[in-house]
Structure 1
Amino acid sequence: MINPNLGRKKSQRKALLTNLAISLIKHKRIKTTLAKAKNLKQFIEPIITRGKNQDPHSMRIVFKKLNNKKAVFELLKKISTNHLKRQGGYTRIIKLGKRLGDFSEMAIIELVEKIK
């Protein structure tokens, strides 16, 4: 079950998801908790879909969500162009097991390679 709140207020949750999305775009793969990964998947997939249009309006909307110029251009120029034929499912979540310190579920979320 997805916990939409993540135990944070709305502004903190928005900042968390934005930072996770920017890290995912820059590094193509990040390790985080399973709850954050599931929420990040719901957050980033519409942004990648919007970035496939490559028009100024879509660029503005993507920049409004991410608020990082380098990440937006990386998304628009490389990631979105790789997924033009794909109709969704741009990310993959791989479960890793429990973390030793607090026993929370860990996962890797990564961007899927382009279709050949």
Structure 2
Amino acid sequence: MRHGKKVDKLGRTDSHRKAMLANMATSLIKHKRITTTLAKAKALRKYVEPLITKSKSDTTHSRRTVFAYLKDKEAVTLLFREISEKVASRPGGYTRIIKLENRLGDNAEMAFIELVDYNEIYGKIVKEEKKATRRRGGKKKATEKTAEGETAEVEVTEEVVPTEEVKEEAPKAEAVAEEIPATEEAPETAESSDTEEKKD
């Protein structure tokens, strides 16, 4: 029974476990992403996240404290120069664990652990989300375009109505043209009757 035992033993002695976690943390800082078993990845997350939080304040004391855990000067300088700047606005949760398929030899659960700000897979999704926010403005433009299209359609229908009226006016004009010769003939008949009366 392991009542009150909060340390993941990982089947190793204390010194072996500390050395292994220090090496894995150094590899994670240098390479930004490592593949390991799921149990080791969870233990490494507990080990490395307090160190990354410590690196946010760049003092001699915090450097020495982190070096006592990592035991690698190159990893310490990378952590305090490069990683601490990227992580400055993040209030925790610096690592991400993603499960993989089980290992072929012993069927152990595998996972990779990576620094969130140096991801390679999930950056594309974030960009798509940003585009989705831009599309909201595009909907307004689309509605404006549809409104313009509707007004254009209304204008087109209004233009069609006058053409029908013109078509209706055209027969009226023909009827008027037919009436005009009749009226012209009438004055001629009136003139001829006047001439006949004068002759009489």
- Match in the other structure for 1:91: 95
Higher strand share: 1
Compute the displacement of 1:97 (Å).
2.1
Task: Give the CA deviation at 1:87.
Answer: 0.6
> Which whole-Å CA distance do the structure 1 matches of 2:58 and 2:85 have between them?
9
Could you tell me the percent identity over the aligned residues? Answer: 57
Over the aligned positions, Cα root-mean-square deviation in angstroms equals 1.3
Figure out how many residues of one structure are paired with residues of the other and give that number.
113
**Counterpart position of 1:8:** 12
Larger Rg: 2
Whether 1:79 aligns to 2:87 is: no
Cα 1:88–1:105 change in 2 (3 A) is: same
Unaligned runs of 5+ in 2: 1-5, 119-200
- 1:3 and 1:94 mapped to 2: Cα distance? 22
- The answer for unaligned runs of 5 or more in structure 1 is none
CA distance in 2, matches of 1:3, 1:101: 27
Q: Which residue of 1 aligns with 2:68?
A: 64
Residues 78-107 of structure 1, C-alpha deviations (whole Å, 9 max, x = no match): 001111111100000000021110000000
Equivalent position of 1:27 in the other structure:
31
**Higher normalized helix content (fraction of residues):** 2
Q: Secondary structure at the match of 1:30?
A: strand
What is the TM-score when the length of structure 2 is the normalising length? 0.55
Moved over 6 A (4+): none
